[in-house]
């Protein structure tokens, strides 16, 4: 059974990013997925405390891309420009920032979990492929800072939204 932490749109809110890392460590997730909009490189170091790998994509507001890539390289992972993929607990995962490719990725049959961000709005569409936007970890736009925990097996994944 997979256990995956999902976060997006942290927008330089380091205290909430640290809370998310603490939550993911306490829940013993095997992978953390970040769907973009870190904003600045100084937001990457808190991820070092995770006890699992991280996959991440750039968001439309990530400005200092060279610095972000360098910080990710320093923690031993790669920040993908548009889309990242991984497998965790037998679950095939695709991660993008913006919602435009989400429907096609979900319908492709290639993924069990498709994660996106950008809208800052929580979106959980359960089915053969779980489509998930965890909302915004920064909490700047909606006033609610959230992440998600995904558990289960391919074809039977469930997402639980958690407030930070």
**Domains recognised in the chain with CATH numbers:** 2-163 (3.60.21.10)
pLDDT values of the chain reduced to their tens digit, one per residue, 164 residues: 899 999 999 999 999 999 999 999 999 999 999 999 999 999 999 999 999 999 999 999 998 999 999 999 998 898 999 999 999 999 999 999 999 999 999 999 999 999 999 999 999 999 999 999 999 999 999 999 999 999 999 999 999 999 99
Distance between CA 104 and CA 93 in Å, rounded? 14
H-run or E-run covering 21: helix 14-26
- Give the Å distances, CA to CA, from 37 to 11, 34, 51, 61, 86: 6, 9, 22, 6, 19
Task: Give the separation between CA 84 and CA 95, rounded to whole angstroms.
Answer: 5
Tokens of residue 87, six digits: 């497998």
Q: Name the token pair of 146.
A: 């959230």
């Amino acid at each position: 059974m997979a256990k995956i932490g999902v976060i997006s749109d942290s927008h330089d809110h380091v205290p909430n990013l640290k809370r998310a890392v603490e939550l993911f460590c306490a829940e013993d997730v095997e992978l953390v997925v970040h769907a973009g909009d870190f904003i600045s490189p100084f937001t990457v170091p808190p991820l070092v405390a995770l006890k699992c790998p991280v996959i991440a994509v750039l968001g439309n507001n990530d400005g200092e891309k060279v610095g972000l890539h360098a910080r990710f390289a320093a923690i031993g992972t790669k920040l993908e420009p548009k889309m990242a993929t991984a497998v965790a607990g037998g679950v095939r995962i695709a991660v993008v920032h913006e919602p435009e490719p989400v429907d096609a990725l979900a319908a492709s049959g290639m993924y069990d979990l498709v994660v996106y961000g950008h809208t800052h709005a929580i979106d959980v569409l359960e089915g053969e492929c779980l489509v998930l936007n965890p909302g915004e970890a920064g909490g700047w736009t909606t006033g609610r800072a959230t992440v998600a925990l995904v558990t289960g097996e391919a074809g039977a994944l469930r997402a639980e939204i958690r407030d930070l």
